[in-house]
Amino acid sequence: MSNLKEIWRRHLGGEILDLALAKKAGLTVVGSKKGEIYCLDKIGKTVWSAQVSGEARVVTISRDGRFTFTSSSDDRILCLDKNGERIWNFKTDGSASCIGYSEEGKIVVAGSNENVLYNLSNEGESRWNCSLDDRIESVAISDSGDIILAATKNNIIHCFDFRGELLWKRTLKGEFIDLALSSDGRLISVAADSKVHVFDDKGDIKWEREMGNLILALDICGMSMNIVVSAIDDVIFCLDESGEMLWQQGLKESLIKLAASKDCKKFAASTLDSSVLFLEDLGEDTEIFYEILCRGKEKCGTFVSAVYTALCPKCGSERNVVRIIKEKL
């Protein structure tokens, strides 16, 4: 059973194109159609923001929040530091459509809309690249950097080693939607139409499961190896490593993008109305409240609310300290 509760929600004023979760730091990074990138903390407050040329179509962030990677319309991969300042940029052949990061190997992988797969060092230097036969829709890399995946628009999953040698490729029966790789590289989860397909690191199919409706996004939780799936019928599912249903929960809306914490208890997501929200499995009979301390000019005092707000309920100031209170009923 799950008891997913909405912890906070932000409407950032532009269509959300991508998001990622810094699973150790508890930060959520968001890219918008306006080219705005926001880094949000555990209560949804802005830590930093940055602007890129064109659309911020893809974002990813290191687990500790030290590095954020994105792309720009002038065909560059950008690396930002923990304050949103640019560290380096790398020119690509076409705009980068997807980016992944290896924590241990310190490797950046990216796929472009001109069919090129790039492997870069942590300093933004090219290690190798190769051309595939269609636009690259998604990439993933294991923590060690030994396993690299690239999914192309023609519904083919490619697997490479750290040198760029092709290990295997598999053609999906449905239209590719999303891709996730476990941190150790031994579990590969792919969404195509309404099915979840799971492969091992040799490319052999382990199992498939029909979810009953079009899948929008999926992710793999690091510690448990559980697979979380968002579907178009406003439901989030959690499957174990063997494909057994652990829980499912109906929501008020569909989750377009989805990122899960290592313990599969916390989820960052985006919605059709361009909101970013954070969900947490609080367990049975637990409710949340918010303590808001106004630090604005009026110094209005402290308020308790059952609904999340980043503003002082009295004067509307954004200068507040918000504390989340979790209570057993």
Task: Output the DSSP codes for 136-193.
Answer: EEEEEE-TTSS-EEEEETTSEEEEE-TTS-EEEEEE-SS-EEEEEE-TTS--EEEEET
pLDDT of residue 2: 77
Asked if residue 262 and residue 179 are part of one domain, the reply reads yes
pLDDT of residue 253: 92
pLDDT of residue 1: 64
Asked if residue 145 and residue 95 are part of one domain, the reply reads yes
Asked if residue 257 and residue 329 are part of one domain, the reply reads no
Rounded to two decimals, the pTM is 0.91
Asked if residue 257 and residue 170 are part of one domain, the reply reads yes
pLDDT of residue 14: 84
How many domains does the structure of the chain reveal? 2
Asked if residue 294 and residue 183 are part of one domain, the reply reads no
Asked if residue 159 and residue 46 are part of one domain, the reply reads yes
Asked if residue 75 and residue 14 are part of one domain, the reply reads yes
pLDDT of residue 132: 97
Q: Give residue 13's region: left, alpha or beta (phi > 0; psi -120 to 50).
A: left
Residue 53, number of CB atoms within 10 A of its CB: 12
Please tell me the distance from the alpha carbon of residue 202 to that of residue 189, in angstroms, as a whole number.
Answer: 13
pLDDT of residue 329: 67
Structural domain boundaries, residue 319: 286-329
Asked if residue 317 and residue 267 are part of one domain, the reply reads no
Q: Which residues of the chain have pLDDT under 50?
A: none
Asked if residue 209 and residue 320 are part of one domain, the reply reads no
Asked if residue 303 and residue 183 are part of one domain, the reply reads no
pLDDT of residue 161: 97
pLDDT of residue 130: 97
pLDDT of residue 52: 95
Task: Write out the H or E segment, with its range, that includes residue 103.
Answer: none
Q: Output the domain CATH number for residue 191.
A: 2.130.10.10
pLDDT of residue 34: 93
Whether residue 207 contacts residue 243, with contact meaning beta carbons closer than 8 Å, is answered with yes
Asked if residue 290 and residue 234 are part of one domain, the reply reads no
